[in-house]
Structure 1
C-alpha cells in the first residue's frame, strides 16, 4: 500500500509540474558537448573553455569541452558532422577544417559545405608579414612597398619560410606572391616554431606568421612587422598597416567559430546563437581574448555560413595554385 501511495504521489507531482510549466526538465538538461578538434592548451581550446563558462547559466546546463585532435582537425570535425542534430553536440569549425583541408586532403571524412549548421563565428586572429629585423635594415625595407620593389628588382633573391607545405604560412605566402607579382623561394619547415626560429636566425627573409606567435619577437626587436593580413588594422598592433592598403582586398587570417551537425532545428540554433553571442560581446570575454591577441567576432548563423562558404571558395584557388597535398 505504501509503495502504491508513493507511486501515486510521484505521478501527481510529475503531472502538476507539466501542467504548471515547472522547469523540472530544464534543470535536468543533459550537458552540451563542445568538440574542439585540437589539443588542450592552444588558443582555440582556451577560447572555447572561456565561452563554455559564460553560457552555462543561459543554456541551463554545463558545456563540456571534448578535445579530439588529429588529422589537421579532421577527426574532431567529423565527430560533430556525424553527431545527432539535437543541439547536444556542437563543435569548432576553423580555417583548416572548413576551408583549407577540403582541398588539401584527397579524401575527407565529411563535407565542409553541407555537413554543418553554422551557429556563430567566434574569433579572428590576424596573421602578420614579418621580416628578420637585421635583414630588413640591411636591405632598406621598411614598408610593404619596399619589400615588393626589392623583390621585383631582385627576382629570386628573397625567400620565405612556413610551417610546411599547405600550412597557413605557405598559403599566405603564395597569395602574396601572386597578388604582388613577385617571386620568392618557399622553404617549408616541420612546424611553425622551426619556421620562426629560421626567420629569427636569418636563414629566411620573411614569413607570414600568426600574430600571437610572432608578437614576442616583434616586441623584442628581433622581427620587424611589415603588414597585417586582415582588411583593417589590428587593435593588437595598430601601428602596422594591413597588406590591403597596398594590395587591394588582400585578406587571409585565422578564424574559428561554432557549428552544429546539419539539420539541427532552427530554434535550437537560435538558442545557441543567442547564448554564445552574448558571451562573445561581454567585456570580460574581450579582455580575456585580448591576452591571446584574438578578436571576438559575433555573427548570425547566416553571416557565419556565408563567411565559411566564401573562405572555402577562396582557399580552393590558393591550395590548387600551390599544388600542395597532405595525402
Structure 2
C-alpha cells in the first residue's frame, strides 16, 4: 500500500467528513491506537481516517503506534482505556479473530474488552508464482502439488501472518502436502518466490499486483469470492476450489462498555468519511474494498470469521508463543 498516495487524499476527506447527527462531542483530544509500527498499511489508513474524524468531531485525533506482541500490546492499551470515546483501536483480524486461536493466554478478553464501531476495509489476496512456473492456473497448481512427492512449498511474511493462514487454508482444502517457509516480511518472501526457491505465496493485492503487472510474478487467482475490482481478469480461487474465500479486513474498536450514543456518533462520522469520493477512489486504485456499516454488522462479521479460522489454525498446528 502506497503511504504517500493514500495520504494525498486527506485534504479532501477533511472537507467531506461533515457533521454527524448524534450529539456526543469529545471534550479532549482523541487517540487512535495502531498496533503496528509507523509506515505500514494499517498505520497509513489509520492516519487517513484520523484527520477527517478529528475535523468532524472538533478535537484532534492522534495516531499512536503501539506495535508488538501480534497486536496484543496495542489491544491491551485500548482495552484498559476509559470507555469515553477518546481512545479507539485500528484493529486487524489478529485482535479478536486470530489471536484467541493462536495464543494460549491472552492479556485481554477479545469480546468483553471491546465495543465494535465500524468495519473499514477488505483487501483481497493474490495467489502468485514465478513467471515460468509450470502451473498456469489454480487447477494446475493443485495438480502439480499432488504430482510432487515432496509437495509444494509456500512463502509468507511470517508465522500466522494473513498470507500464511490463507495459504494453509488453500492447502487443507485442496488436500495438498505443503511446507511453509516463513520470512521476516513480505519483501524477502516475494524475492524467494520470484527466484524459484519457493513455489508460491499469497498476500494482499496492493503488494503483489504491481509485481504481476511488471511481469515479475504470475497471478493464478484472487482470494475473494468475486473478482477483484483492481484485477477483474483474475478468476477467484473458489471457482476451482469451491468454498475458498479470504480477504483481510480492518475495523475500528472502542473499549468495552463505551456508551451507545458515543458509538453511534463515531459510526455515523466514519461512515461519512468512508463514503467520500477521495477515499473510495484511492481504495479502488489499490484494489481495496471499503466496508462501513453498523456496529452490529461488524460484530457479526467478527463472530463468523472467528468460527471459520479456528479449524484452519487447529488443523495446521499454528501457534504463536
What do residues 261-293 of structure 1 show as CA deviations (whole Å, max 9, x unaligned)?
111111110100000011001111112334443
SS at structure 2 position matched to 1:258: strand
Matching residue within 158, 168, 193 for 1:199: 193
> Shift in Å at residue 254 of structure 1?
1.3
Matching residue within 107, 118, 143 for 1:120: 118
CA distance in 1, matches of 2:196, 2:100: 34
Matching residue within 117, 139, 144 for 1:145: 139
Matched, 1:61 2:55: no
Q: 1:97 to 1:27 in 2, by over 3 A?
A: closer
CA distance in 2, matches of 1:26, 1:254: 31
Give the corresponding residue for 1:29. Answer: 27
Unpaired segments of 5 or more residues in structure 2?
A: 1-22
Give the corresponding residue for 2:3. Answer: none
CA distance in 2, matches of 1:118, 1:67: 20
Matching residue within 291, 298, 303 for 1:297: 291
Give the corresponding residue for 2:85. Answer: 87
SS at structure 2 position matched to 1:112: coil
> Shift in Å at residue 36 of structure 1?
0.9
Q: Say which structure is richer in helix.
A: 1
Q: 1:204 to 1:263 in 2, by over 3 A?
A: same
Matched, 1:187 2:220: no
5 Å-filtered alignment, 1:1-327, equals: 29-135=27-133, 139=134, 141-327=135-321
> Shift in Å at residue 310 of structure 1?
1.3
TM-score, normalised by the number of residues in structure 2: 0.88
What is the RMSD computed on CA atoms of the aligned residues? Answer: 1.9
Is the 1:132–1:224 contact (alpha carbons within 8 Å) kept by the matching residues of 2? yes
SS at structure 1 position matched to 2:136: coil
CA distance in 1, matches of 2:62, 2:74: 14
What do residues 1-34 of structure 1 show as CA deviations (whole Å, max 9, x unaligned)?
xxxxxxxxxxxxxxxxxxxxxxxx9888211211
CA distance in 2, matches of 1:188, 1:37: 21
CA distance in 2, matches of 1:208, 1:26: 43
Unpaired segments of 5 or more residues in structure 1?
A: 1-24
CA distance in 1, matches of 2:253, 2:190: 32
SS at structure 1 position matched to 2:132: helix
SS at structure 1 position matched to 2:76: helix
> Shift in Å at residue 248 of structure 1?
2.1
> Shift in Å at residue 90 of structure 1?
0.9
What do residues 204-255 of structure 1 show as CA deviations (whole Å, max 9, x unaligned)?
1111122122122111111111111112111111111111222222122211
CA distance in 2, matches of 1:183, 1:149: 12
Point out the structure with max Rg over C-alpha: 1
Residue range with higher mean Cα deviation, 156-165 or 77-86: 156-165
Counting matched residue pairs gives 299
CA distance in 1, matches of 2:274, 2:26: 26
CA distance in 1, matches of 2:256, 2:284: 32
